[in-house]
Amino acid sequence: MCKVQNHFTVESESGFSYIEVLIAMAIFAISVIPILSMIFNASQNTVSGRRYYEATIMVQNLSERIKNEIERRLVNNEPLGEGTAPQSLALFLNPSDTNYSKFNDAFNGDEYEYDVYIKKTDGSDQYKLLKENNYNYDYLFVHINRGETSPTEPSLMPDPITELDLTGQNSDPGIFDTFIEGDLPTDSMELEFDGTDDWDIIKSNSPDKSKIDLTWNDFNDFPSCVMVVSNPLSPNPALETDDRIEISLDVSKLQEEHRLDIRLENNTKATIIFYIYRGNKVDVKTLDKNIEVFPIQNDPDGNIFIERKTKMIPRENYIIRIVARDRKKHSKILKDMVDIYSHDYRIAAY
């Protein structure tokens, strides 16, 4: 301290403050630059974190919306999309959102872009949800540049190896097996009321096991149907008590003015299960009031069971990959999430 004092006070003090300030400023400047840089980086990280965070939230919300939309379309027998060509995500979720404003509001289209890859499980063990040699997704929905850019494949593809591997060593088999609609039990018949005065046989699978005769009568002023289940003709053996025959009638097109009168006779020892399916929109009271079933079980060992309900169809699983991108940063990937659609049994009415 004494030396410093001597240097500045004893030997010369002129201009000292100027130099001192300059030095201080230099030191300050040298010190502050990295500090500012750090602050800037911190700020950047904060913004980035916020965006990641927001993108994650958006993707989660989007995932729920997509699953709901899949649910809705499956229940109403509507296709999810038209092949693997890129389609508008906003219109997929809401076809009336033609200017994408609702989507942009809900999912911050100013900031983010999305691409969604959907793959239906098909019994395979592994799924890769990106284009490699072939399309490995069934549907691609995108939302680019607030929807103002036509749906197209993302220029910057996400990691191609994101995959779902179902070959768990401890898995019970058949977890992701495909349920194919249209498979009928050995003895079964599917009918559909066509909305006019008749109903048609959609499928029938009773070549020799049983004999199901359908007769349309025209009494009581409205068309009626007589279904008689009999034993198969010789030499096929007669039906026994452990045999089951399923007959289902789809009355989704039933209107209030319609009336169906069904006489169902079982002349066998088998159990007939007669389902009457309705569409979700059919009023239940109308359904019961307008459909009269007169079951006649002629063999004391046989049985008829009637159940009226909405058709319960096994729904496939869908693997959904959602990628959120930063619209303002060259479509940088902010969030990449995989979800699996499983039918929501709590809300479905059947």
Partner 1 sequence: MKKRIKEFYINEDGNALILVMLLVMCMMLIAGGVMAVAFSHAEISQAYKRTSNLYYAAQSGAEKMVDHINKILMKEMPHLIEKAANEAKNKVTTTPKSPEEPVVNSDFTKLKYSILEDENEENSSPYKGEFLLDNLYQELLKEKAIETIVGDTSPINENTVLMRFEYELKNERNKSLVEVKLKPKMALEKVTGFTVISTATLQKESDELSKIILEGDIIISDLIGHKELFLEEYQWKDENLIPNTFRSPILTFGDLVITDGAEVIINGDVRAKGYIPHIDMSEVGIVPFPELEEYGGIYVSHGGKLTIHGNIVTLANVHTMNRYNTQNAKTKITVTGDVFANSVAIEDDYPYKGDASADSRPIGAKVINQYITINGDVYVDNDIAIDRYVEGTPGIGEDIETLIKIDGSVYGIMNEDPAGKDPNKSSGIYAIGKKSRIEIGQHAFVHGNAFISFDGGKHFSHLYESMGEPYEDVGFLDNYINNVVLGDESYLTLKKDYIVKNKIKLHLVDGGNFFAYAPRMISANGRFFKFEDAGNVIKDDSGKEISNASFVAPEQLKRLFNQGEIDIQELLKISPVGKDGIVKWAESIDQGSGSPKIAEIINNAYNYLKKEGNPYNREYFSDDGTSYDSMYYYRGIQGYMFLKRDIFYKNINTSIYSDINTSKETPENMEFTGDIINSTVALDENIWTKDNPVYILESSSSDEKLINVSDFYDGNKPVETIIIDKGEGTISLYASDPNQNDFYGLIVSKGRVKFGTSSSINEFKGIIIAQGKNNGNTNMTTAQIVSGEYAGVLVEADDPLTITYDKDILFKVKCKNRAVKRAILDYLGLTNYVNNTNHEVNEVEPILDSPSINIENIQKVDFSSHSVLDIKNTKAYRGIRFEMKTLRQVDSES
What would the two tokens of residue 105 be? Answer: 């509001």
- Stretch of 92-100, 141-149, 158-166, 202-210 lying at the interface with partner 1 (CB under 8 A): 158-166
- Stretch of 82-90, 101-109, 144-152, 303-311 lying at the interface with partner 1 (CB under 8 A): 303-311
9 touches partner 1 by CB under 8 A? yes
What is the distance between the alpha carbons of residues 229 and 244, in angstroms, rounded to a whole number?
Answer: 11
Report whether 334 contacts 115 (CB < 8 A).
no
Q: Site map for partner 1, 106-145, x if CB under 8 A?
A: ----------------------------------------
Looking at the Cβ atoms of 156 and 175, the one nearer to partner 1 is 175
Binders of partner 1: how many residues, by CB under 8 A? 97
Residues in 183-222 that interact with partner 1 by CB under 8 A? 185, 219-220
Looking at the Cβ atoms of 97 and 246, the one nearer to partner 1 is 246
What is the distance between the alpha carbons of residues 313 and 192, in angstroms, rounded to a whole number?
Answer: 16
Residue in 85, 157, 201, 340 binding partner 1, rule: CB under 8 A: 340
What is the distance between the alpha carbons of residues 16 and 13, in angstroms, rounded to a whole number?
Answer: 5
Laid out side by side, the sheet with 139-143 consists of: 86-88, 139-143, 112-120, 318-326, 332-341
What is the distance between the alpha carbons of residues 287 and 307, in angstroms, rounded to a whole number?
Answer: 12
Residue in 162, 186, 204, 230 binding partner 1, rule: CB under 8 A: 162
What would the two tokens of residue 285 be? Answer: 């009271």
33 touches partner 1 by CB under 8 A? no
Handedness of CA 121, 122, 123, 126 (dihedral sign): negative
152 touches partner 1 by CB under 8 A? no
71 touches partner 1 by CB under 8 A? no
72 touches partner 1 by CB under 8 A? no
H-only helix segments in the chain: 2-5, 16-75, 89-93, 101-107, 284-290
Residues in 38-57 that interact with partner 1 by CB under 8 A? 38-39, 41-46, 48-50, 52-53, 55-56
- Stretch of 35-43, 79-87, 133-141, 194-202 lying at the interface with partner 1 (CB under 8 A): 35-43
What is the distance between the alpha carbons of residues 120 and 107, in angstroms, rounded to a whole number?
Answer: 25
171 touches partner 1 by CB under 8 A? yes
Minimum distance from residue 61 beta carbon to partner 1 (Å): 11
Whole-angstrom CA distances from 173 to 168, 169, 280 are 10, 10, 33
